[in-house]
Amino acid sequence: MTAKSTKTLKKVIAHICLIIASVFFLAPFIWMVSTSLKPLTQIFTFPPEWIPRPFVWKNYIDAMNYIPFFTYLKNTAIITGVSTLGVVITCPIVAYSFAKLRWKGRNTLFFITISVMMIPGQVTMIPLFLLFNKLNWIGTPLPLIIPAFFGIPFYIFLLRQFFMGLPNELKDAARIDGASEFRTYWQIMLPLAKSAVLAVGLFQFMASWTDFMGPLLYLTNPDSYTLSLGLQQFQSQKGTQWGLMMAVSTMMTAPIIVLFFFLQKTFIQGITFSGIKG
């Protein structure tokens, strides 16, 4: 067998393995969408039926009345959008400072930042709640938004790795041309890191959009509930209506899938190149 044939065979085997793996990953999502379109009598049939008979599109209309869907959607979109904006503003500039600037205590502070990643969220849950309570933020979305503007350690680390992979000659050339440090960051380094910043933004979008624990801790007014919390609260009070629940879950998942579909190339580039140099 020639080297070219061997290489082709390896590619075929790799693609077959990826297709098989993708089936296992896609099966739960396909089942969710299928269940959202089924009549109640077909949901628990055995053996399971993947194709609804008939397609009950009314489940989606009823689902929007099942909970105050558009109120929860608006709350979720505001919290997700503002927190994502906070992350993509603050994390890149902190990461650039750690990667490209020389200042006293930089390595120590970066070590502390990385160490924070090792602390389980359960450890800081009560202290943070007490802090936000002292600030009178409990019952408002502020605890879910403001922390993002102070940076997330994992995102800072990810972006630092990307900035370290960019050549220092670019920064030196800008300095020779008289550019300030901030201008060098804003006009030269940040555009080059666009893929990594978008990857971080997508991470934060997914984390905030699907967050359940944060809203459960800090939101007390039903009018300020997010989709994940509102859906759980309604389920606990009114019981589970599986067709409607799956319809709402599909509508919650769809924005993330659509966003990833359009940004997948940039997202993969950002993750791949974030480990060039460390």
Whether domain 66-273 has CATH 2.60.40.1180: the reply is no
Q: Say which DSSP state 195 is in.
A: H
Which pLDDT score, from 0 to 100, does residue 35 have?
85
The pLDDT of residue 271 is above 60: no
SS3 48: coil
Cα–Cα nearest to 224, from 133, 132, 139, 134 = 139
Closest CA to 49 of 60, 34, 64, 70: 34
Give the span between the Cα atoms of 187 and 21, in whole angstroms: 42
What distances in angstroms separate CA 202 from CA 79, 88, 157, 194, one per listed residue?
A: 14, 10, 16, 12
Report the candidate in 164, 189, 114 with the shortest Cα–Cα distance to residue 273: 164
Q: Tell me, what DSSP letter sits at residue 46?
A: S
Could you read off the pLDDT of 58-102 as tens digits, one per residue?
Answer: 888 887 887 788 899 999 999 999 999 999 999 999 999 998 888
Q: Where are the domains of the chain?
A: 1-56, 66-273
Nearest to residue 150, comparing CAs of 186, 116, 173, 185? Answer: 116
Query: Cα separation of 214 and 204, whole Å?
Result: 14
Dihedral sign from CA coordinates of 7, 12, 17, 23: positive
pLDDT for residue 80: 94
Helix residue spans in 37-105 (DSSP H) = 40-43, 58-66, 69-100
- The confidence band for 275, taking pLDDT boundaries of 50, 70 and 90, is very low
Q: How far apart are CA 41 and CA 35, in angstroms?
A: 11
Phi and psi torsions of 39, nearest 5°: -70, 160
